[in-house]
Amino acid sequence: MNRLARLLTAVLSSAVLLVAGTATTATAAPVATLGDAPPGVRCSFFWNTSFADTCFESDGDDQWIRDLVANGWAAVVHVQLNYLKDRTCKAMPAAEGWGVCKFDHVEDKCVRFQLYEQKGDAIRNRTHWSRWFHVNGTGYCD
């Protein structure tokens, strides 16, 4: 086993996932292809980039996030609601699998998303905003 493979194995076996301000021990996730949803989750909205995937599950207002590149930068989804509320959901920078943030949005409102990477106060790879989407999962607001 080469040095990089041993390093990646060590990192994956001891990684910690930080989601919504709580830390939990993470287990290695199965290898996934870019663009697939978390197991057993019905995404009302799904967005993928070269560095992260995000899935909004309207049933429960759960925001899923997956960092795709173990590069020291955390994948973040900025969740903006049309009633002047902003939230973020952040995965640790370990390309470790899906993390989830449990939100409680007002059901008859709209939400949109933006992905970026963050390390400390530095931000990079900020995407454009998505279209506005009904929180209840019935489609786009515009």
- Whole-structure pTM value: 0.73
CATH number at residue 86: 2.60.40
Distance from the Cα of residue 82 to its chain's centroid: 20
Per residue of the chain (142 residues), give pLDDT as tens.
334 333 333 333 332 233 333 333 233 333 334 347 888 899 999 999 999 999 999 999 999 999 999 999 999 999 999 999 999 999 977 788 899 999 999 999 999 999 999 999 999 999 999 999 999 999 999 7
28 within some domain: no
Distance from the Cα of residue 36 to its chain's centroid: 12
Pairwise CA distance, residues 54 & 102, whole Å: 13
97 within some domain: yes
| pLDDT value of residue 32 | 35
Phi-psi category of residue 8: left, alpha or beta, with phi > 0 → left and psi -120 to 50 → alpha:
alpha
| pLDDT value of residue 39 | 86
34 within some domain: no
| pLDDT value of residue 122 | 98
| pLDDT value of residue 8 | 34
Short-list 17, 131, 122, CA closest to 66: 17
| pLDDT value of residue 3 | 40
The number of distinct structural domains making up the chain is: 1
| pLDDT value of residue 11 | 32
Which domain covers residue 57, as residue numbers?
A: 3-18+43-134
